[in-house]
Amino acid sequence: MLRRRLPLSKQASLTKLVYWLSGKPFVKNDEIDIKEKFPNNEKGGLIFSADFEMAWAFRYTKDVSNPYEFALKKARQERINLPMIIKIFEDYSIPVTWATVGHLFLESCQQVTHGWMKRIPHFVNRCWQFTSGDWFDQDPYSNYKEAPEWYAPDLIRAILDSNVKHELATHTFSHIDFSDKNCPAEVADDEIKASIEAMKSFGLPKPVSICFPSGSWGNVPVLKKYGIIIYRKKINEVQLAYPYYDEYGLLVTLSSDVFDRSYPTWSSSDYQARYLKVIDKAIKTGTVAHIVFHPSMDPWMINEVMPTVFEYAAEMRSLGKLWIGTMGEIANYISKEKNL
């Protein structure tokens, strides 16, 4: 792609130009009556989902020379950021769908803990390179006090103790490529089963929502088997949609944008305008804006961008224009409406 060959500053300028001139975000149209879409007759919807991963996400990344050290660094940043993130969502009474790697629910583990799980075969995809060894080779088989990059029961308790009712969704047990191409169905089955078991220690019900690691969509029949009713999916051509049913009878919510400082030359105002445009267009078109973030993000985004976006979203909610909720909430509402 020509854009990637340009210096980062030029990429940033070109991306900004394309975004504002292209008509993005693009919309998937539907014929559903707007009066049926949201619980209180709002005009549009907004979901925030967090890919809560710690070190599990980056250990096979192709983007750096030392993936293991990079994974630890990202996990440590995540631990610094999470209290700030919880607080800012509390300030605006906004719930989050926390798509959580199942291993993070564990206080500790031993090699035998995961010994029963079938392993994903070696593969290379657009993000990761897993070509040797065992998928769990980096697992320290320790506990959250000695290896806090790989376990996070303390952080999960902080989420559950928040005065905002968040949703705990799944992000698979060990952050695998969940696609049909690279993940056999029996591996996907064990990943979801292990996630459900890990969540039980917190008294949590089975998850009803999933966000695929790095967008690796697939194995939907396995999700249906375990009671998942909605998943997040990225489609390059479309960014806004009201959740719709796929061929398996599960609901799909599209990724609209991401809180990510990809372009350091962009100002806070540039980013704020981008996210507000997404929210405004969701209201205008009767769709759901779904903004994604990684808790390991640059703290600048938390401090300089998110407050303005949340303040605007909360204002639109108070005016009765914007529904704000979780993946599970919108899925349950749609399912209820369909069964009336």
What is the structure's pLDDT at 263?
87
pTM, full prediction: 0.94
What is the structure's pLDDT at 20?
66
Neighbours of 82 (CB within 10 A): 21
Element (H, E) at 302: helix 299-304
Q: From CA 71, how far away is CA 87, in angstroms rounded?
A: 25
Q: Over range 101-117, report the average pLDDT.
A: 96
Q: Is the pLDDT of residue 303 over 70?
A: yes
Can you read off the two tokens belonging to residue 55? 């070190």
Q: Is the pLDDT of residue 16 over 80?
A: no
DSSP type of residue 119? P
Collapsing DSSP to helix, strand or coil, 222 comes out as helix
* Cβ atoms of 179 and 200 closer than 8 Å: no
Q: Which residues contact 318 (CB under 8 A, 6 or more apart)?
A: none
Q: What is the residue-averaged pLDDT of the chain? A: 94
What is the structure's pLDDT at 282?
98
Q: Is the pLDDT of residue 340 over 50?
A: no
Q: Is the pLDDT of residue 8 over 60?
A: no
The alpha carbon dihedral of 325, 74, 266, 302 has a sign of positive
**Domain definitions of the chain by residue range:** 2-27+37-338
Q: From CA 180, how far away is CA 188, in angstroms rounded?
A: 9
Got the DSSP string for 227-260? T--EEEE-BTTB-BB--EE-TTS-EEEE--EEE-
Do β-strands 129-130 and 167-170 pair in parallel, antiparallel, or remain unpaired? unpaired
Query: How much of the chain exceeds pLDDT 90, in percent?
Result: 90
Can you read off the two tokens belonging to residue 139? 């697992």
**For 134-165, how does the pLDDT look when each residue is reduced to its tens digit (9 = 90+)?**
999 999 999 999 999 999 999 999 999 999 99
Q: What phi and psi values does residue 13 have, to the nearest 5 degrees? A: -65, -40
Q: Is the pLDDT of residue 338 over 70?
A: no
What is the structure's pLDDT at 13?
64
Q: Is the pLDDT of residue 59 over 60?
A: yes
Neighbours of 161 (CB within 10 A): 8
Q: From CA 53, how far away is CA 103, in angstroms rounded?
A: 9
Q: What phi and psi values does residue 72 have, to the nearest 5 degrees? A: -65, -40
Q: Which residues contact 259 (CB under 8 A, 6 or more apart)?
A: 275, 291, 292, 293, 297, 301, 305, 306
Collapsing DSSP to helix, strand or coil, 126 comes out as coil
Can you read off the two tokens belonging to residue 8? 């980062």
For residue 43, what pLDDT band results from cuts at 50, 70 and 90? very high
Q: From CA 317, how far away is CA 283, in angstroms rounded?
A: 11
Q: From CA 166, how far away is CA 49, in angstroms rounded?
A: 10
Q: Over range 216-243, report the average pLDDT.
A: 97
Q: From CA 261, how far away is CA 265, in angstroms rounded?
A: 9
Element (H, E) at 85: helix 67-91
* Cβ atoms of 67 and 56 closer than 8 Å: no
What is the structure's pLDDT at 336?
83
Output 272-275 pairs: Cβ under 8 A, ≥24 positions apart: 272/305, 272/308, 272/309, 274/19, 275/305, 275/309
Q: From CA 287, how far away is CA 303, in angstroms rounded?
A: 28
CATH superfamily of 2-27+37-338: Glycoside hydrolase/deacetylase (3.20.20.370)
Residues in the chain: 340
